[in-house]
Amino acid sequence: MARSKSSKRWLDEHVNDPFVKQAQIDGYRSRASYKLIEINDKDRLIQPNMLVVDLGSAPGGWSQVAAKLVGHKGRVVASDILEMDTIAGVEFIQGDFTEQAVFDQIMATLDGALADVVISDMAPNISGVNAADQAASMYLVELALDMACQVLKPKGSYVAKLFHGEGYDEYVKLVRESFDKVSVRKPDSSRGRSREVYLVAKGFRGA
């Protein structure tokens, strides 16, 4: 079966992508690892000994970076609907964090501790229908923000992937209501033609 032009372009891009090649050399599970590394270099969010919650963590690129940054005395609690292979220093809960049973499991794993940072690189399964994809992506980040507000300690930080489009401005406004400082980042490792950006929110005001 002949590949469509767009899937061929993606494949060519992927094969020749320096970040894909670098991920293989560095042992990261995805090129997305470099997005978090870049953001953290700039914003200094994740530090040694911190507790980080990673939402939508599979295949584990962000969890790998977070685990390295927090070190042996820190903790990373990750969750995804999909399976994720074990990562040293990462406690993984499989399931939909918006379901009560999975939420309870995450809370039990946190065991009363509040997170210093909540990170989310989640994106919906792409249907190709822009309006539907945008709505699905906004729904996910709204849920991620709700979760962050429940588990973050005061002055904590939040990072989430966002796509420009319907609902974007309203969401940024919503985040500003709960955090002292909100910035938008477009890491070099994010493909230029992608509409994705990363919202970095610092100084959580408390639930």
Q: Residue 98 burial by CB count (10 A; 0-12/13-18/19+): exposed, middle or buried?
A: middle
Pairing of the two strands 196-204 and 179-185: antiparallel
Q: What is the DSSP string of 80-147?
A: ESS-----TTEEEEES-TTSHHHHHHHHHHHTTPPEEEEEE---PPP-S-HHHHHHHHHHHHHHHHHH
| 74 labelled ligand-binding | no
Catalytic residue, candidates 35, 73, 153, 161: 161
Helices vs strands, H then E, count in the chain: 7, 7
Handedness of CA 90, 79, 155, 43 (dihedral sign): positive
DSSP H/E element including 76? strand 75-80
Instruction: Quickly count: other Cβ atoms within 10 Å of residue 189's Cβ.
Output: 20
| 60 labelled ligand-binding | yes
DSSP H/E element including 15? helix 5-16
DSSP H/E element including 182? strand 179-185
| 62 labelled ligand-binding | yes
Indicate if 161 belongs to the active site: yes
Report the binding-site residues for S-adenosyl-L-methionine. 60, 62, 80, 96, 121
Report the binding-site residues. 60, 62, 80, 96, 121
Active-site annotation, residues? 161
